[in-house]
Amino acid sequence: MSNLDQIAKLSGFSKATVSRVLNHSPHVSQATRDTIMKIMEELDYVPNGNAISLSKGQTEQIGMVTEGINEVMLPFLNSFVETASQHGYQTIIYTSGGDPAKELQAFEDMRRKRVDALVISTCVNDQALLGTFCKYGPIVSWQRMERPEIQSVAMNQYDGYMLGLEHVIKQGYTRIANAFGRPTSMNTSGRIQAYQDIARKYALPVNPDWSPTGIYSIRQGEQLVRELLLNPGERPNAILCANDLVAAGVLNEARRMGVKVPEELAVVGFDNTELAHTLGITSIYNPIAAQAQNAFLLILSRLKGTEPEQQELEFQLVKRATT
Amino acid sequence: MSNLDQIAKLSGFSKATVSRVLNHSPHVSQATRDTIMKIMEELDYVPNGNAISLSKGQTEQIGMVTEGINEVMLPFLNSFVETASQHGYQTIIYTSGGDPAKELQAFEDMRRKRVDALVISTCVNDQALLGTFCKYGPIVSWQRMERPEIQSVAMNQYDGYMLGLEHVIKQGYTRIANAFGRPTSMNTSGRIQAYQDIARKYALPVNPDWSPTGIYSIRQGEQLVRELLLNPGERPNAILCANDLVAAGVLNEARRMGVKVPEELAVVGFDNTELAHTLGITSIYNPIAAQAQNAFLLILSRLKGTEPEQQELEFQLVKRATT
DNA sequence: TTGAAAGCGTTACCAA
DNA sequence: TTGGTAACGCTTTCAA
């Protein structure tokens, strides 16, 4: 493997000049540039990325921290990787599997200069602790954060959830159950707030058993339906879900139990993924890919010290066969 | 930010000794180690990852090359990231979006020493070209490869597909259609071979229109069903699909058209993802997560020069409501 | 426009 | 067990 030193020696110029050619500096004569380029080609030269990173103090790599990769965050991940790559940045995946120590590894890696910045989705560590890492580089969160030092590209879940609530009420459903997600997240508290507000506004029957938290998966959705429908006492006639996976589980199990959807039970998903399309589930469109783009752009502006250019985003309700 | 030099000066020892403490060398007295460790803690010292990578000539990062991240490769990605992380390796995502130039970027990055190795799934560049990069580091493929220099953790698709074929035939279906995947992949040719063999064995009716290639997505599955069932002439009564996404599309559209599944049409998916479980689609279990583990272990053995420890894997048919 | 030399922060070899 | 010092391969500042 050839290096910059060899190119310099062979061409008769200094390392500095060769470096200038590499970095497209205008202060190199065309003749010199040509000579050096030719030799680079002959030797099949490629610059060593580690040396550049060490010298510059930047890696052009961004870490994405998450508990695990699932279908809901797929568009986020894809869009982020794509946008980053368009700007010459790479994305490193850090999955914690819910282990705080493992998650912290990603933040340590920013201190170690392995990544220039971090984008986080679901985090299990204390936010105050994570906030202390902000001095080592930009941290942007997909979820809404309590700590102001960690910027967020989250959208106001209150508005999105309200869209779903108003929709089912307009369709005549009143006994509304909610499968909420992570209990500690601000996304969830926004949704809970929306539900409370609308329950008060329309004087809906409220049953504490109808609003469990910590429901994320298909299986949990299936389980939830069994509990809600087999319980003695009044049944809900609409279920709003934390995401489309849960909605799929709910729909599936309800049908298996012989419950008619949407006649006896309305089901609303969230995120409007392909799954919702396939199964014909009414869902709330959440512009996730655009949020990922915003996340990268936010990081880039912090890295370059420029003004961030963000796009305005909004939720939309996509009505299908389950309501 | 403190560095190794400062630790050395403050402790009164040399950089070499400090480095030994960092790398848990046995040739350091306990007293020295304690002294140095204490100072490191006081200064909140962390080693610079780039400097280590440059010096060692290794980054402990592995690139994953793919056209895009979708539901089918999710378990592969998750399992790979997890396994790699257990061994102290990070995973960098390279998505090409089908652009050969972009895909090549990943391979260039291995030359540049940004990644120590590559794991590839679907590749759009010429395999002979990709093979030339083997001299820069290990390359392991998820798909079966024509080039022997690129190792593969693929399983013999012939066997897996045969499982599905024998199953539908045993259930009495004879007019079998196939939604094959990427036409140029060896995975697909293995499946085609299985179909041809079984068609001959049981003297099945073969219709060229019944075996299209290049079908990967839900939408394509929906489209395919329309073509197959609306065409004049004989209809197939079973469709084996390239993956569960396609099967979901097929099932969905068939039902929408009023075709009874499994009475009038059998549907078989591939990979046995959560989607197949949710929709009750018969599918062929493909131990994808274990393949990803094998892929990493193969890379690690090449990197360390040790003997690879691989686990034996096999397909299984999971019968559900669509056959 | 070009060059010399001092970083960047480690590791690894050879002596002591 | 420890230290001195040359790598590792590039960027950047200061002079010329």
Residue spans of chain A under pLDDT 50:
none
On whether the CB atoms of residues B59 and A53 are closer than 8 A, the answer is no
Strand order in the sheet with A61-66: A151-152, A139-141, A117-120, A61-66, A90-95, B90-95, B61-66, B117-120, B139-141, B151-152
**B250 vs B222: CA distance, rounded Å:** 5
On whether the CB atoms of residues B69 and B92 are closer than 8 A, the answer is no
The pLDDT value given to residue A87 = 94
* Stretch 84-143 of chain B: residues touching chain A, C-beta under 8 Å: 85, 90-95, 97, 102, 108-109, 111-114
The pLDDT value given to residue A9 = 86
Helix (H, G, I), strand (E, B) or coil at A50: helix
Q: Which residues sit opposite A7 in a β-bridge? A: none
The pLDDT value given to residue B144 = 86
Helix (H, G, I), strand (E, B) or coil at B268: strand
The pLDDT value given to residue A146 = 84
- Which one of 1.10.3720.10, 3.50.50.60, 3.40.50.1950, 3.40.50.2300 gives the CATH number of domain A61-155+289-313? 3.40.50.2300
B147-155, Cβ contacts within 8 angstroms, sequence gap of 24 or more: B150/B120, B151/B298, B153/B291, B153/B292, B153/B294, B153/B295, B153/B298, B153/B310, B154/B186, B154/B187, B154/B291, B155/B286, B155/B287, B155/B291, B155/B313, B155/B314, B155/B315
Question: Which residues in B153-257 belong to E strands, given as ranges?
Answer: 176-179, 238-241
> Within 7 Å: CB of B30 and strand D?
no
Rg (CA), chain A: 26
On whether the CB atoms of residues A268 and A285 are closer than 8 A, the answer is no
Per the structure, the residue whose CA is closest to nucleotide D9 at C1' is A51
> Within 7 Å: CB of B43 and strand C?
no
CA A80 to chain centre: 8
> Within 7 Å: CB of B54 and strand C?
yes
Pairwise CB contact (< 8 Å): A90 & B91: no
**Digit-coded pLDDT (tens) for A16-63:** 889 999 889 888 888 888 889 898 988 899 999 999 999 999 999 999
* Stretch 262-321 of chain B: residues touching chain A, C-beta under 8 Å: 274-275, 277-280
On whether the CB atoms of residues B66 and B95 are closer than 8 A, the answer is yes
Q: Which residues sit opposite A91 in a β-bridge? A: A62, B93
As a whole number of Å, the end-to-end CA separation of chain A is 64
Pairwise CB contact (< 8 Å): A54 & B51: yes
**Digit-coded pLDDT (tens) for A109-154:** 999 999 999 999 988 999 999 999 999 999 999 988 888 889 999 9
Contacts of A71 in chain B (CB under 8 A): 71, 74
Task: Name every residue whose Cβ is closer than 8 Å to that of residue A172 and which is 6 or more positions away in sequence.
Answer: none
Q: How far is the CA of A151 from the C1' of C2 (A)?
A: 45
Fold match flag (A3-56 vs A61-155+289-313): no
Dihedral of CA B93/A107/A102/B302: which sign? positive
Neighbouring C-alpha atoms within 13 Å toward the C-beta of B74: 20
Per the structure, the residue whose CA is closest to nucleotide D8 at C1' is B55
Residue spans of chain B under pLDDT 70:
none
Name which CATH class applies to B3-56: mainly alpha
Å from B199 to nearest chain A CA?
32
Pairwise CB contact (< 8 Å): A92 & B91: yes
User: H/E element holding A285?
Assistant: strand A282-285
- Angle ∠(B173,B144,B179) on CA atoms, nearest 5: 30
Helix (H, G, I), strand (E, B) or coil at A117: strand
The pLDDT value given to residue B134 = 94
**Maximum CA pair distance of chain B?**
89
pTM to 2 decimal places: 0.89
- Cis before A262 (ω within 30): yes
> Within 7 Å: CB of A20 and strand C?
yes
Q: Name which of B82, B90, B146 is nearest B117 in CA terms.
A: B90
**A206 vs A184: CA distance, rounded Å:** 21
> Within 7 Å: CB of B29 and strand C?
no
Pairwise CB contact (< 8 Å): B50 & A77: no
- Searching chain A, which residue's CA lies closest to the CA of residue B279? A252
The domain limits of chain B are 3-56, 61-155+289-313, 157-285
Task: Name every residue whose Cβ is closer than 8 Å to that of residue A317 and which is 6 or more positions away in sequence.
Answer: A163, A164, A167, A282, A283, A284, A285
A12-20, Cβ contacts within 8 angstroms, sequence gap of 24 or more: none
On whether the CB atoms of residues B117 and B139 are closer than 8 A, the answer is yes
On whether the CB atoms of residues A221 and A215 are closer than 8 A, the answer is yes
**A168 vs B166: CA distance, rounded Å:** 47
Name which CATH class applies to A157-285: alpha beta
- Written as six digits, the tokens of A279 are 């199964």
On whether the CB atoms of residues A319 and A282 are closer than 8 A, the answer is yes
- Searching chain A, which residue's CA lies closest to the CA of residue B217? A274
Q: Please name the nucleotide lying closest to B17, CA to C1'.
A: D2
Chain D nucleotides close to protein (CB under 7 A) are 1-13
At residue A94, φ and ψ (nearest 5 deg) are -120, 110
**Residue B32 CB coordination number (10 Å):** 16
Per the structure, the residue whose CA is closest to nucleotide D2 at C1' is B17
Helix (H, G, I), strand (E, B) or coil at A216: coil
The pLDDT value given to residue B70 = 85
The pLDDT value given to residue B14 = 85
The pLDDT value given to residue A176 = 97
CA B159 to chain centre: 19
Buried b (16+ CB within 10 A) or exposed e, B98-121: eeeebbbbbbebbbbbbbbbbbbb
**B207 vs B196: CA distance, rounded Å:** 11
User: H/E element holding B191?
Assistant: helix B186-202
Q: Please name the nucleotide lying closest to B15, CA to C1'.
A: D3
The pLDDT value given to residue B266 = 97
Place of tokens 């140029």: B184
